Structure formats: structure tokens, C-alpha cells
Amino acid sequence: MKAIEKPIQKSWKKINQEKKEFKKKKQKEKLIKQLEQAKKLEELQQEKQEEEKILPVSTVSIAVPGSILENAQSPELRSYLAGQIARAACIFKIDEVIVFDDHTEVSRPKANKMKQDEGK
């Protein structure tokens, strides 16, 4: 009969030492990954800052005639029309709305007549 060979068993001291080494190895890998991620984030932030420095600041503006509200039939409709213009400006991300005077002195007969009456 052959003698039954017992498998070689590791001591608890050696098993614990291997576990500690494995944990240290994993922690080092984790720290390396965190450092790499931090470097990537820092690079991305630097790129964003460079892009912001390079790009000029621009605004999108629309010009609206001042007489646009004169066609409305009631004060409610005037406010509705102004609200619709503001809503459209928000939707299209307009930075500036310019209201310009589209009347000339010739096209303002009532105003001219009032000025003449005041002068007399």
C-alpha cells in the first residue's frame, strides 16, 4: 500500500501575509487610477479655459419696430403680442432686443400738427 500523501497546507501567517500584499496591490492600483482621472479632469479644464479665452464674446440681437404694437386692437392684444415676441426671443436665445423708431417726422402728421398748434 502506498502511503497517503497529505497536501501541503499553508500556515495562517503566510495566508494573512498574502492577503495584506494583495490588498496593498489593489490600493496602489486604485490610487493610480484616481491620479489618472484627476490628470484627465485637469487637462479637460485647461482645454475649456483655453477655448473660452480664444472664442470671442458675441451677442445675438433682433430689432423690432416701435410701431409693431400699433396694429393691435386692444390693450390685451398688445400685451399678448409683446409676450409672444419675448417668448420667441427666449426660445431662440436672443441676448438683446432692440426697439427702433420707424416713424419719421413726415409720417407723423398728428405729432407735427400738435407741435404747430403749441407754437401759435
Judge contact between 81 and 69, C-beta under 8 A: yes
Higher model confidence: residue 37 or residue 52? 37
Distances (CA, A) of 80 to 15, 73, 75, 93, 110: 80, 11, 9, 20, 27
Spatial separation of the C-alpha atoms in residues 70 and 103, rounded to whole Å: 12
By three-state DSSP, how is residue 63 classified?
strand
For the stretch 59-82, pLDDT in tens is: 899 999 988 888 888 999 999 999
For the stretch 1-32, pLDDT in tens is: 566 666 677 788 889 999 999 999 999 999 99
Task: Tell me what percent of the residues of the chain surpass a pLDDT of 70.
Answer: 78
pTM exceeds 0.75 for this model? no
By three-state DSSP, how is residue 100 classified?
strand
Residue 98 pairs in a beta bridge with 63
